[in-house]
Structure 1
Amino acid sequence: MTWLLCTRSALSLGCSPICTSRWREATVSADPATVAAALQVLAHLGVTLADLQSDTGAPAALPTVAEYLPRVVAAAGPGARRTYGTYWERMATAWGDWPLNRVAASDIEAMKQDMIATARSRRNSRNGRHAGEHVIAAARAFYRRAVADGLIDASASPAHRVAKPRRLPSTRRALTPYELEEINAVARTSGNDVILDALLLRLHTESAYRRGGALAVRLVDLDRRSGLVRLAEKGTVRWQPVSLDLAEHLYEHAHGRGAVLPTDQLLRYRNGQPISSRRYDHLWKRIGDRLPWVAAQGISTHWLRHTTLTWVERHFGYGVARAYAGHTDSPGSSTTTYIKADLHAVADALSAMTGQPHPLATMEETQAAWPAATRR
């Protein structure tokens, strides 16, 4: 390798061809042991002879934020696109022609503060805190993809040098039986589809489904005989017990409104079209207009989930509540690994809550814990 470098230097200095040819001969006749040792050193450094002989030139230019964003969006899941899409578009607008390594932590911090200051005020808003948190989360997801693609080093990500705002404690609480009665009474006596609205409230109260999970339920996911609904949400799939009465109502609702194929969505409007998340928005807006305390506290479908899981935890323990909620992660102490409950325990809790027997329940029937209005 030394002789090769000397050859290049000699040519650049105008040495005679005879001189350089002698150096080439010396290179050819080099000691094999020396050559082997040199190659071993190069291999240890991750360098090949081709790397030494090639003209590397200037390093490849990084793509700009606008150029790289489509790759990030294509690799993201539907949940990430829905949550971060707005913030990724803001990044492309503000820094679109900047290469990835030009964006600084202070730029992301400035965008966070701007989003906090201009966030819309909603029923569940926290003075823009969630918007600021989402800016950082979106930027981290963007640069995490750049790191995975080998474009930048993990230590060079500006998004990971910006601290997320500390998440405030949730204002949600368990609703009282009287509050549940009021909410159900309004849903059953107002609106243009009281049957659908009553069914939605009962489904979420019994099952503690998230809104997205209920919207994803298909005809094939309903097992009327066993009182089960297959639920796909938050990247998990599980069977969730529901009362046989509710299972039958769900089946009649779906078939009466045009669900025929196994993959047809279960919850539907009167015109046969599948419902969307907007139905929930209209439902709670209408309830809030008639019950001021609902609007003032920002009560939503997730409060029904919180109410059900609180009751299950109080009466059946943390392990059953965790299974009822569909939580599969185990944050905190490793002790939570052993606090588990099976489908039969969840069915026991459901049976006790509704006062109705369930095929998978193992305990004797008990008196219903919920108001009658939620079970009609």
Structure 2
Amino acid sequence: MIAAASPTSAKTYGTYWARMDQLWGERPVDTIRATNVEALQHDCTVHARPRERNSRGGRYAGENANSAARAFFRRAEADGLIPPGTSPTHRVPKPRRLPNTRRALLAWEIQEITEVARTTGNDAVLDNLLLRLHTETACRRGGALALCRKDLDTRTGLVRLREKGETLRWQPITLHLATSLADHARLRGASQPDAALLRYRNGQPLTTRRYDALWNRIGSQLPWVAAQGISTQWLRHTTLTWVESNFGYGIARAYAGHTDITGPATNTYIKADIHAVATALSALTGEPHPLALDLKELGFLT
């Protein structure tokens, strides 16, 4: 099961599959009932490790447990271990998601966050680089951590992002950030093309722990950050909200790297290329970009 899963699925569901093995490992697959799946979901919800920020009382753990069980029984159906359409997970609804509390940050809020990152901690250079990278690209943490030296193009101001759903895209960044990332990689030992781009001061590749430490530190200095559970994802939300407000849904969708065609049929026709994204970035940062178009070419000026 794990061998057939994508790296992302294995990372997300591995803990839950291990728990399923503990609970059901000695039982034939076709004896697992909806009640067992529901009990698993409840157990994971109750015993979820509480998070300091964005805690939802274990709801995400319950949802992931449900998804992990569905993935397992889909594989069981595909392998002929149970008849098609007999998965017990079909009769166990996922926990209803609560409304998202995330919002776009205001200019003064971003300024305070940046100031704390700049003046506290043991690696202000790295922290400021992270904040700038996520603000400019609206990328997710996984996209930043997956960056290699070969994914940086300093001449045209681009980074190649690998994010969830195995998506791959070149995203415009300012030349100033591109140069800073290149200097960072060089000074911290990322000399080979496949070497991780973002690194600690000791030269080791960056991990998610840096993000947790960064936001915990900012929250300790700014109580409103801790109270609202603000995280890196809020920077993505902030940038995309600004792009959508100033350049429209199509360009915001491209900026976010969304490639799905679910939703209204018009999504099929709402597309924007890298030049439109670069133009939005230039307007956002106030810095010129080699790939940006004149606003007249995008139809914003007459």
- Which TM-score applies when normalising by structure 1? 0.77
Q: Residues of 1 paired with 2:9 and 2:218: CA distance?
A: 30
The equivalent residue for 2:130 is 200
Q: Report the AA paired with residue 277 of structure 1.
A: T
Alignment deviations for residues 210-239 of structure 1 (CA, whole Å, 9 cap, x no partner): 000001111111111101111111111110
The equivalent residue for 2:299 is none
Q: Report the AA paired with residue 240 of structure 1.
A: Q
Instruction: Report the CA distance between 1:77 and its aligned residue.
Output: 1.2
Q: Residues of 1 paired with 2:75 and 2:149: CA distance?
A: 37
1:255 to 176, 186, 192: 186
Alignment deviations for residues 77-120 of structure 1 (CA, whole Å, 9 cap, x no partner): 11111111111111111111000001100111122122222223
4+ long deviations beyond 3 Å? none
Aligned CA RMSD, in angstroms, stands at: 1.2
- The structure whose Rg is larger is 1
Instruction: Report the CA distance between 1:364 and its aligned residue.
Output: 5.9
SS at match of 1:299: coil
Q: Residues of 1 paired with 2:84 and 2:249: CA distance?
A: 38
2:218 matched to 1:287? Answer: yes
Q: Residues of 2 paired with 1:281 and 1:168: CA distance?
A: 23
2:252 to 286, 300, 321: 321
Q: Residues of 2 paired with 1:114 and 1:250: CA distance?
A: 44
The equivalent residue for 2:7 is 78
Q: Report the AA paired with residue 74 of structure 1.
A: A
The equivalent residue for 1:113 is 42
The equivalent residue for 1:170 is 100
Instruction: Report the CA distance between 1:162 and its aligned residue.
Output: 1.1
Contact 2:175 2:289 in 1 (8 A): yes
Alignment deviations for residues 314-339 of structure 1 (CA, whole Å, 9 cap, x no partner): 00000000000000002211111111
Q: Residues of 1 paired with 2:79 and 2:40: CA distance?
A: 25
Q: Report the AA paired with residue 108 of structure 1.
A: V
The equivalent residue for 1:133 is 63
Q: Residues of 2 paired with 1:160 and 1:87: CA distance?
A: 18
Q: Residues of 1 paired with 2:15 and 2:194: CA distance?
A: 30
Instruction: Report the CA distance between 1:156 and its aligned residue.
Output: 1.5
SS at match of 1:154: coil
Task: Answer 1 or 2: higher relative contact order, Cα 8 Å, separation at least 6.
Answer: 2
Alignment of 1:32-181 (within 5 A): 72-122=1-51, 123-181=53-111
Q: Residues of 1 paired with 2:100 and 2:84: CA distance?
A: 32
Q: Report the AA paired with residue 162 of structure 1.
A: V
Gaps of 5+ in 1: 1-71, 366-376
Instruction: Report the CA distance between 1:125 and its aligned residue.
Output: 1.8
2:293 to 347, 362, 367: 362
